[in-house]
Amino acid sequence: MTDTISDSSLDEFRARAADWLATKAHQHGWLRTPDGSRRRVGAGDHEAVERNQECQRLLFEGGFAGINWPTEYGGQGLGLREQIIFNEESRKYDLPLVVFIIGLGMCGPTILAAGTDEQKRRYLEPMLRGEEIWCQLFSEPGAGSDVAGLTSRAVLDGDEWVLNGQKVWTSGAHHCQFGIVLARTDSSVPKHKGLTMFILDLRTAGVSLRPIRQIDGGEHFNEVYFDNVRIPADQVLGGVGNGWQTATTTLMNERVSLGAVRPLDDVHSTQALIALAAEKGLTGDTSIRRQLADLWMRETVVGLLGQRITASIMQGKQPGPEGSVAKLVRTDFSNKSAEFGFALAGAGAAAWPAEAPTGDSFANTLLFVPSLSVAGGTDEVLKNIIGERVLGLPKEPQVDRDIPFRDLKGR
Ligand SMILES: Cc1cc2nc3c(=O)[nH]c(=O)nc-3n(C[C@H](O)[C@H](O)[C@H](O)COP(=O)(O)OP(=O)(O)OC[C@H]3O[C@@H](n4cnc5c(N)ncnc54)[C@H](O)[C@@H]3O)c2cc1C
């Protein structure tokens, strides 16, 4: 991959980061598995959660947490460039940080953009220290791609909001203390206008969780039920009725972090697959070579799109539809690399000795990658965005856009 930023003024930061990472990775065993893929953390996996929290705490103590977040909220007050350099250096290792992807990648940036000063002071530093883990509660059984059609309702009662309804696919809620939740607070206006975002303490009475069992055997996401959950009025995030605008900030960060800025560490890298092909004596096989070259090209494109997005963010631009392009290309590479890795690994990918610590990784990755086509915007929805905003095709008809939500059929 040719995705390394080089700028002599930043060399010192890179050297400090590389040095710190090398020392800590060896001390704490944050070394990559031979197949290059990452472990995921399911319900009940308390040890893995603690390991993630320890890693985040060490990053904070080492001065590498919230690198581009303001110092008054626990960050390092440096630029995005330094954050990217740190990401590049940390790719060489396997930092156990998966439980913080949503908090630090989506909830934190939303609080930074839309939160009150009090909210920023209360929540951002504990997030950076790894003390509090966050999730994002938007999707509902009847509202995923069309999240503005959600029906969870919050009603003001004195100085508290009372929340009722259900969310689904809430990643990581079982090990989180907090979440950002989107609810309908006014159904007399069209669907995008009557939403409000709240900061929710998941330990509040009336919140109950049920993990969902997945095809790969894991339980990484949940159904979450709200039964008269009382949320203090000062936990509104971004203003009453502004939920759609606030959620757009979160979703843009989600697409960018899922597609571009986040390293490709949940699937097999081309480099790891080349090593596997060499181990099996297959690097002379023309068909294998062609497939590896194709994967390398796609992986390179993912890296280049990431650089392009990063460059535009560094120029102060808001991430736009290029986040959708990057996520789509990343998903495509992930699916292809998982399929090829599984085939290349042969019988050992389908059945492995119990004592092989990463024997299940090819099967697990193959079963995991289809979810990437759905999480954070489905492939079809991203193609719609690209069609409309990049290619200038006509907009999809939205017949329910201007009708008060309560007058919509079926609501
Ligand atoms: C691994 C994973 C983690 C997730 N984590 C979270 C989380 O932490 N928090 C959260 O809130 N949600 C989360 N989600 C939910 C995710 O955001 C939704 O699944 C996604 O938005 C799709 O919604 P849906 O499942 O309701 O499908 P639907 O929106 O019902 O879509 C069904 C099918 O119709 C297609 N479709 C829908 N609308 C259109 C259209 N306009 N044009 C063309 N085709 C269309 C879709 O592409 C899809 O194929 C997660 C999902 C996954 C898979």
Let me know whether 269 and 371 are in one domain.
yes
pLDDT tens digits, residue range 25-78? Answer: 999 999 876 555 555 555 568 889 999 999 999 999 999 999 999 999 999 999
- Test site for ligand 1: of 176, 178, 378, 393, most ligand atoms within 8 A of the Cβ: 378
Let me know whether 296 and 319 are in one domain.
yes
Which one of 191, 211, 245 terminates a domain? Answer: 245
pLDDT tens digits, residue range 373-408? Answer: 998 889 999 999 999 999 999 998 888 889 999 999
Q: In whole angstroms, what is the distance from residue 339 CA to residue 330 CA? A: 14
Q: What is the CATH number of the domain that holds 234?
A: 2.40.110.10
% residues pLDDT > 70 (the chain) = 91
Query: What average pLDDT is seen over the chain?
Result: 90
Which one of 132, 154, 171 terminates a domain? Answer: 132
CB 371 less than 6 A from any atom of ligand 1: yes
Q: What is the CATH number of the domain that holds 63?
A: 1.10.540.10
Q: How many domains does the chain have?
A: 3
Q: What is the pLDDT of residue 46?
A: 85
Residue identified by tokens 């599984």 is: 342
Domain region containing 180: 135-245
Q: In whole angstroms, what is the distance from residue 59 CA to residue 363 CA? A: 32
**Residue bearing the bigger pLDDT, 227 or 268:** 227
CB 381 less than 6 A from any atom of ligand 1: yes
Let me know whether 121 and 180 are in one domain.
no
Question: Which residue from 274, 299, 282, 155 is spatially nearest to 226, judged by alpha carbons?
Answer: 155
Q: What's the gap in Å between 202 CA and the centre of ligand 1?
A: 23
Work out which ligand 1 atom sits closest to the CA atom of 139: 11
pLDDT tens digits, residue range 200-216? Answer: 999 999 999 999 998 87
In a domain, 15, yes or no: yes
Q: What is the pLDDT of residue 159?
A: 97
Q: What is the pLDDT of residue 33?
A: 67
Average of per-residue pLDDT across 179-197: 97
Determine the 3-state secondary structure of 140 from DSSP: strand
Q: In whole angstroms, what is the distance from residue 62 CA to residue 81 CA? A: 18
Let me know whether 260 and 380 are in one domain.
yes
Shortest-distance Cα residue to atom 12 of ligand 1: 139
% residues pLDDT > 90 (the chain) = 67
CB 384 less than 6 A from any atom of ligand 1: yes
Work out which ligand 1 atom sits closest to the CA atom of 142: 26
Query: Are 186 and 151 contacting, i.e. CB atoms less than 8 angstroms apart?
Result: no
Q: What's the gap in Å between 214 CA and the centre of ligand 1?
A: 16
Question: What residues are labeled active site?
Answer: 254
Average of per-residue pLDDT across 366-370: 91
Q: In whole angstroms, what is the distance from residue 168 CA to residue 165 CA? A: 10
Q: What is the pLDDT of residue 3?
A: 46
0.85 surpassed by pTM: yes
Q: What's the gap in Å between 145 CA and the centre of ligand 1?
A: 5
Q: What is the pLDDT of residue 38?
A: 53
Average of per-residue pLDDT across 305-322: 80
Q: What is the pLDDT of residue 331?
A: 94
Let me know whether 268 and 374 are in one domain.
yes
Let me know whether 22 and 124 are in one domain.
yes
Q: What is the pLDDT of residue 2?
A: 40
Q: What is the pLDDT of residue 164?
A: 98
| 256 confidence band (pLDDT: 50, 70, 90) | low
Q: In whole angstroms, what is the distance from residue 33 CA to residue 19 CA? A: 21
Average of per-residue pLDDT across 323-340: 93
pLDDT tens digits, residue range 6-29? Answer: 577 789 999 999 999 999 999 999
Q: In whole angstroms, what is the distance from residue 150 CA to residue 167 CA? A: 9
